[in-house]
Structure 1
Amino acid sequence: MSRGPESRGPELPEPAFKRFTKEIGWSSLVHSSRDIKILIAQKVLRMIAYGQSTLILVQFFREIHVSDVSLGYFMTLTLLGDVIISYFLTLYADQIGRRHVLLLGSFLMMVSGIVFVFSDHFLVLLIAAIVGVISPSGDETGPFKSIEESVVAHLTPTKELSDIYAWYGLFGTVGSALGSVSAGVMIDGLVENYGWTKLKVYRFMFAQYAVFAFLKLLLNWGLSDKCELRKRSEEEERRDDAIAAGDESDPLLRPTDHHDPTPSQSPKFSIWGTPLSRKSRQVVWKLCILFALDSMGYGFMPISWVVTYFLDRWKASESTVGTLFFFTNVLNALSSLASSSMYKRLGPIIAIVAAHFPSAMAMSFIPLAPNMAIAMALLLFRASTAVMDVVPRQAFLSHVVSAEERTKVMGIVNVVKTLARSVGPIFTGMFAEKNMLGFAFLITGLLEAAHDMGMLTLFWKYNRIIKH
């Protein structure tokens, strides 16, 4: 007699390695589309370039005799310029074409690197930094991040989205780590072994920045039209023409779809773009305020100034600082894998606060450290939790706005964050001029902690609403 299905023995548990790869989202990455993999490769190249340029930015301007106060204004004006460019590019990225915007950004990034190789003129360098997205913080400041995250959400099923965001962030962090350590080793090696001046080394590294941008531009040509919101089949277009305007009762929390809905008529170009839906506005304005607090705090002590603090306060060498930031980025990368698991187990809001608050406190204590070893340990502790909130934050934002508004909302949020980040560098430059950089660490920690308390207060209910 054959055994029926009901007589089967209990299923064997999954092997430990398979459970582990599933937990960290490796399977989601392996089976992701070719476009996702190209976007990740672009991010790696970009972050290597940012990692190198961030380590040398303050020192480069000191070599060409720009004061710390003027450098603070440079950083602020760079971020403000990025706000304007990013705002318009992300506002109309879906109409212009997401790939076209990424292509333009890569070209401008390449041009800015070339300008930094040959020019000493403050105004020329400022314009190049604005249009070419030279990052004072080593972080994303231009339109790339908003558009890429929107494309990732567009191409990824909801249940795999947090995994892909985690790996997207991890590879970017690995790029930053490689940039930091290579910059430190290169500076010391070329100066000590080949007799190069530091200014010559810095210009050589900006030439590398241009090369990375060129490679990124080449990769951009490999993206398919699946990345575009408006590339629809003729059947879908005919169906859309036959259907009335979208139902106003559509829920705010929607699943990610591979084919985002597109309005039957393209919106007209205007300064402000088409208005957001009422449901999106109710969430977005609160998020903008809280993200602005967080970014304002980060703006007081971006990586360029943290590098300068260790060079000035503890007389560390460039290779030592480069190695330090290599390990901070390695810790960022490892913790970003855990962020997807935290999101799934805790929900977006608790995961954000649990990761972000300890990081803020560690930042506040760095200037109180009695020696360089403890200061480095605090920075490494901050790095171990600093990016664990990124995946929950990205997934939360992609869930609470509709698919057709996702690029615009991510662009608006990142513009607000960059605008807020531009406040701090002016004051940090003044602090540096008076040997008071430690005070900026404290401001950073307090503002970041205020963001955490606000997230708990205003968005606690979404921890239950969003499936995780």
Structure 2
Amino acid sequence: MSEPDHQERSDIIPAAPTETVTSNPLRTLLWGQGLRDFGDGFVAVLLPVYLTALGFSPFEIGALAGTALLGSALLTLAMGFLGVRYDLRLLLISAAGLMTATGVALATADSYALLLVVAFLGTINPTAGTVSSFVPVEHAVLTRETADAERTKVFARYSLVGGLASAGGALAAAAPEIFMRLGWPQLSALKAMFAVYAVLGLIAGLLYTRIPRRPPAQLGFTQALGPSRWTVYKLAALFSIDAFAGGFAVQSLLALWLFERFDLSLSVASLFFFWSGVLAAFSFPVAAWISRRIGLINTMVFTHIPASLCLILAAFAPSLPLALGLLLMRAALSQMDVPTRSSYVMAVVTEAERTAAASFTSVPRSLAASLSPALAGALFSLSWLGTPLILCGALKIAYDLALLNQFRHVKPPEER
């Protein structure tokens, strides 16, 4: 799409409300997001521990992680279509109810077949990132409550809250070891954390009831995307490359790599993922600051490439301190594209298309990411342990260069 076409289309985007991030709907959304990301943070670390304790192989663990991402992709796609026809508040409450059901199922199941079903139908998030059916709905709510000039800043704050909550969840993953010192069996201690996850979903659902009801955008079910469809399709294709690459090093598999490569303890792993989450979280407002100076696309690309190089170098690290240092450097850089990417997608589509655009750019990411964890698990079993990290970094660099080539001239309203 040429820049003039984009300029002409952007003129029809309705002006957004000028509410700040301290308004009640946004504050409520941030609290709900924090609760679910806290739960995702400890589930991502504990999931491989739980599955290993049940006697499953690295390949089976990777396959289950991939199944979870596939199920999340399909549910997110459904949210994109439903967001055109139903109140966004109702969709968030429903997703929170599914989170509660997922936690209950994880706390009671130990059959691999049943766990695969739960992973596919539920809200298990092996990435501890924003890969869930909540995301497109939350993005649409955030954008409708925010002016263009503040949009990236609000998304940075949204990502900051989620990142800190996820980091806190990773730290809470050490809780089962505390329970075990008190005499609990390992499986009971792990299942107790999944019960906590269910309670967090329940509380989040109650919070979402405070978001005001608003009528959905008036587009037909088959018209979820309109004038922006080709922009969304190209972005979705590129984002899928990034997600496929990221699937080789999702947090659950990165934890597995540290356990296998350096015999890392659960308590040390939870502390590491806590600090990596904190670094990632505080990189979000930095990304918003940088984007105001060099633009959203440049911020996405030129922070992502150094992060990928750190991951590749970590695969060759001969010692645990060096590997952890490189991974922490990666954590401080690799997520800067999260608020900028979300803001960019919302900026280059019309208001009525926002939920669908967030969904359709998330779904290929989840579908692509669902393929690589099983491959990574097989590589862990059959070859040198660092291979998945190298593949992840190399593919991500290729994605960054392609994104820069295709979209460096397509500017959001605030950059023109």
**Same fold by TM-score, threshold 0.5 exceeded?**
yes
The letter of the residue matching 1:96 is Y
CA distance in 2: counterparts of 1:84 and 1:398, whole angstroms:
21
Q: How much has 1:188 moved relative to structure 2?
A: 2.5
Q: Over residues 258-287 of structure 1, what are the superposed CA-to-partner deviations in whole Å (9 max), with x where a residue is unaligned?
A: xxxx44xx52x4xxx22633x412312221
Match of 2:192 in 1: 204
Q: How much has 1:310 moved relative to structure 2?
A: 1.1
Match of 2:309 in 1: 361
Match of 1:37 in 2: 27
The letter of the residue matching 2:356 is K
Q: How much has 1:164 moved relative to structure 2?
A: 0.7
Match of 2:240 in 1: 292
Q: Over residues 312-367 of structure 1, what are the superposed CA-to-partner deviations in whole Å (9 max), with x where a residue is unaligned?
A: 21111111111111111111111111111111111111111111111111111111
Aligned ranges for residues 180-199 of structure 1 at < 5 Å? 180-184=170-174, 186-191=175-180, 193-199=181-187
SS of 1:423's equivalent in the other structure is helix
Name structure 2 gaps, 5 residues minimum.
Answer: 1-17
- Mapped contact 2:312–2:393 kept (Cα < 8 A): yes
Match of 1:316 in 2: 264
CA distance in 1: counterparts of 2:149 and 2:134, whole angstroms:
24
Q: Over residues 34-67 of structure 1, what are the superposed CA-to-partner deviations in whole Å (9 max), with x where a residue is unaligned?
A: 0101110111101110011011111111111222
Match of 1:276 in 2: 225
Q: How many pairs align?
A: 399
The answer as to 2:163 corresponding to 1:173 is yes
- Mapped contact 2:224–2:356 kept (Cα < 8 A): no
Aligned partner (choices 91, 95, 101) of residue 111 of structure 1: 101
Q: How much has 1:463 moved relative to structure 2?
A: 4.6
Of structures 1 and 2, the one scoring higher in RCO (CA 8 A, sep 6+) is 2
Which shifted more, 417-426 or 90-99? 90-99
Compute the RMSD of aligned alpha carbons.
1.7
Q: How much has 1:217 moved relative to structure 2?
A: 1.1
Report the CA distance shift for 1:89/1:395 in structure 2 as closer, same or farther (over 3 A). Answer: closer
Match of 1:214 in 2: 202
Name structure 1 gaps, 5 residues minimum.
Answer: 1-27, 231-261
CA distance in 1: counterparts of 2:107 and 2:134, whole angstroms:
23
CA distance in 2: counterparts of 1:89 and 1:453, whole angstroms:
30
Aligned ranges for residues 383-422 of structure 1 at < 5 Å? 383-422=331-370
Q: How much has 1:435 moved relative to structure 2?
A: 5.6
SS of 1:437's equivalent in the other structure is coil
The answer as to 2:37 corresponding to 1:89 is no
Give the structure-1-normalised TM-score. Answer: 0.82
Report the CA distance shift for 1:68/1:114 in structure 2 as closer, same or farther (over 3 A). Answer: same
Match of 1:138 in 2: 128
CA distance in 1: counterparts of 2:215 and 2:358, whole angstroms:
15
Aligned partner (choices 444, 450, 453) of residue 392 of structure 2: 444
CA distance in 2: counterparts of 1:402 and 1:464, whole angstroms:
12
The letter of the residue matching 1:146 is P
Match of 1:379 in 2: 327
Match of 2:405 in 1: 457
Match of 2:292 in 1: 344
Larger Rg: 1
Aligned ranges for residues 424-443 of structure 1 at < 5 Å? 424-434=372-382, 436-443=384-391
- Mapped contact 2:344–2:412 kept (Cα < 8 A): no
Q: How much has 1:311 moved relative to structure 2?
A: 1.4
Report the CA distance shift for 1:138/1:376 in structure 2 as closer, same or farther (over 3 A). Answer: same
Match of 1:15 in 2: none
- Mapped contact 2:51–2:61 kept (Cα < 8 A): yes
Give the structure-2-normalised TM-score. Answer: 0.92
